[in-house]
Structure 1
Amino acid sequence: MSEETKQDDEISLLDLFAVLWHRKTMIIIISLVAIICIVVFSIFSLVLDPEISPLPNVYTPRALMLINNASSSGGGLSAAIGASGLGSLASLAGVNVGGGQTYSDLAQYLVGTNTLLDSVVDKFDFIKRYKIKISPRASSRKALKKNLTASYDKDSGVFTIGFTDYDPVFAQQVVNYCVDYLGNWFKDLGLDKNVMQKANLEQNIQNTFNEIRRLEEESHRLEQSVSMAYGSGGGVSIMLETQRIALELSAQQEVYKQLKVQLEMINVSIASESPIFQVLEKAEVPDQKSKPSRGMLCIIVTFGAFFFSVFLAFVLNAVENIKKDPEAMAKLRAKKENVRIYRED
């Protein structure tokens, strides 16, 4: 690099520093005003009631669920979605019901459905809480979706639901309601076959047990009738009926044994396999805000004001240089005159 080039670079850096030094008062004032304003704003937003504060403290409780995607293969999920009537809607939402779909995809889709959103809105009276007057149903859904989050971690298989609000207790209640609603929805869809089979077996066992009790009571009554009708012609028919009931009772008892064996096998299967939807941790009332970070906001605003003042200093310096340059001013006047003549024409 030649001496002349080095000298030009040094002169340029000196010129830049000279511009900043000449405008140092403006730069300092703008930066100080920005610092004072953002600090006052931060304190003001903290002191005010959260409902009217422009920047209130908000809290985000989260609930953790374990979703077993390994059970979503084999077409069971597709059949369940199709049977529930969610197939076309899920396709529009990006859940491929034809193949490659997972239970975590379904869970994320269900969190954003109008059915769940409307249930939460009605349960916690979002329309009144957020003072919604225009398009209350659509606006309340948007207000809920804005603060309701759902995410899935593929590495751990953990599905997370969170809700942000200035009231930590309210936010916790919303999250846990969504968790319960989602868990019941998975049960209603019949995705966990073992759980469904267990419920059916328990119902069949109860029905069989009730039938056995009925037959035992009927058999007891007939035995009494036999002793009372002994010696008459009707005693033979009663004895035959007693034998028939005894055979039916024996059959029901055998069915009851088989059902109990099947129930034990299902219980072993459930114990050895992970359920499709399992709540790991429900949301707790947070005692620490999730945002905003007022300290970071003050730093960002301060640096922004400083760089803006530096940029403004160079702009003002450029304007002054143009005003001092006769040739530049003559060109500006000529352009201004041409524009005036053009407008008059």
Structure 2
Amino acid sequence: MNQVDNKVKQSHDINTYTQDNSGNDMIDLLSLFSALWEKKKLITAVTFLFTLAGIIFSLFLPNIYQSTVLLAPTQDRTEISAMANQFGGLASLAGIKLGQQGDNTTDIAIASLKSREFINEFISQHHLLPELMALKKWNEKNNQLVFNSDIYDSKTNTWHGKQFYNESNKPTASDAYKAFSKILSIKTDKETGFISLSINLKSPYLAEKWATWLVEDINHWMKVRKIDSTKRNIKYLEEQLSKTSVTDMVTTFNKLIEQQTKQLMLAEAQNEYAFQTIDRADVPQEKVKPHRLLIVIASMFLGLILSCSFVWIRRVI
């Protein structure tokens, strides 16, 4: 009987404890809502101020426009690839690397697009430093670029940006590379193999122009390097050919020279060496950033949360 009585007592205690906790939770919630209701004017005022600050902040942010060009890797050449497979072993022994079907030309081109050397040369060749580092906004009415006068004087073409930490107050190659990397986006569709190259800038016309230039320059960049390397291969093979009189080796070297000559002719004839343009870049009509409505909503909720937290913490203290 004692055991039964103890179990009944324990069950009664647990129920009593649960009821007490439920009552305390209800009291806490009521106390919270009561405190918030008492300070509703303060909460409303703080939320309004944060919302207003979000609106003002979003309006001061410049519009960002995105121009995108759709690319496809240039198709491999079956005849040359077959010959490369046939003589690839001998070419490797001779120190020559032949192009093969499925080679990594596309991967090299994408890596080059992101490389420090290519980007810095691209910026220097097209004189993009002022627009990249000192552009403040784009005036839509007259299609004029407005530069940050604290960094760059477009009239005198002089730099005085002290944040660049050098004697000329001019952005360094490292500064330019970091800035350009932020506005460049390259995405590859794994299913189709298509490549999307995008440029995000404050001017839609600049975005379209830079995206177009990038495709032209990377094709030229890859073409020139292929021509140079192929010419070196041909010169080396011709030197080796002049040193041997073995019939089989003479035949092999002639075939390798023929293969390299075909690659050279093909590279010289192609303008779109690495990438073929499927859909050209155009001037974007709508901005992609900033998302002003989201900024305002986030500011409103931030003000609401902070004001409610302040009221509750003050009540608890």
- Provide TM-score, normalisation by structure 1: 0.54
Give, in whole Å, the separation in 1 of the partners of 2:179 and 2:96.
Answer: 31
Give, in whole Å, the separation in 2 of the partners of 1:101 and 1:31.
Answer: 59
| Structure 1 residue aligned with 2:22 | 6
| Structure 2 residue aligned with 1:286 | 284
**One-letter amino acid of the counterpart of residue 38, structure 2:** H
| Structure 2 residue aligned with 1:105 | 107
Give, in whole Å, the separation in 1 of the partners of 2:190 and 2:126.
Answer: 32
Structure 1 residues 209-220: aligned runs within 5 Å: none
Give, in whole Å, the separation in 1 of the partners of 2:188 and 2:108.
Answer: 11
- Aligned match for 1:168, one of 204, 221, 224: 204
Structure 1 residues 79-90: aligned runs within 5 Å: none
| Structure 1 residue aligned with 2:141 | none
> Offset at 1:303?
0.8
Q: 1:5 to 1:282 in 2, by over 3 A?
A: same
Q: 1:186 to 1:18 in 2, by over 3 A?
A: same
> Offset at 1:116?
1.9
Structure 1 residues 13-52: aligned runs within 5 Å: 13-43=29-59, 45=60
| Structure 2 residue aligned with 1:270 | none
Aligned residues: 216
Q: 1:83 to 1:57 in 2, by over 3 A?
A: farther
**One-letter amino acid of the counterpart of residue 56, structure 1:** P
Contact kept in structure 2, 1:127 and 1:136, CA below 8 Å = no
Which of the pair has the greater relative contact order for Cα pairs under 8 Å at 6+ separation? 2
| Structure 1 residue aligned with 2:297 | 299
Task: Report Cα offsets for 1:51-105 as digits up to 9, x if no partner.
Answer: xxxx1011010111112688899789xx9xx989xxxxxxxxxxxxxxx974443
Structure 1 residues 1-345: aligned runs within 5 Å: 2-43=18-59, 45=60, 55-67=61-73, 102-129=104-131, 130=134, 131=152, 133-190=169-226, 277-319=275-317
Q: 1:23 to 1:102 in 2, by over 3 A?
A: farther
Q: 1:182 to 1:28 in 2, by over 3 A?
A: same
Task: Report Cα offsets for 1:230-264 as digits up to 9, x if no partner.
Answer: xxxxxxxxxxxxxxxxxxxxxxxxxxxxx9xxx9x
| Structure 2 residue aligned with 1:226 | none
Larger Rg: 1
**One-letter amino acid of the counterpart of residue 151, structure 1:** K
Task: Report Cα offsets for 1:213-234 as digits up to 9, x if no partner.
Answer: xxxxxxxxxxxxxxxxxxxxxx
Q: CA RMSD in A?
A: 3.8
Contact kept in structure 1, 2:58 and 2:290, CA below 8 Å = no
Give, in whole Å, the separation in 2 of the partners of 1:180 and 1:153.
Answer: 21
Structure 2: 5+ residue runs without aligned partners? 1-14, 135-151, 153-158, 160-168, 235-257, 267-272
| Structure 2 residue aligned with 1:245 | none
- Provide TM-score, normalisation by structure 2: 0.58
Structure 1: 5+ residue runs without aligned partners? 46-54, 85-99, 201-258, 268-274, 320-345
> Offset at 1:163?
1.0
The structure with the greater share of residues assigned to helix is 1
Give, in whole Å, the separation in 2 of the partners of 1:139 and 1:160.
Answer: 25
> Offset at 1:301?
0.8
The structure with the greater share of residues assigned to strand is 2
Does the residue aligned with 2:66 lie in a helix, a strand or coil?
coil
**One-letter amino acid of the counterpart of residue 123, structure 1:** Q
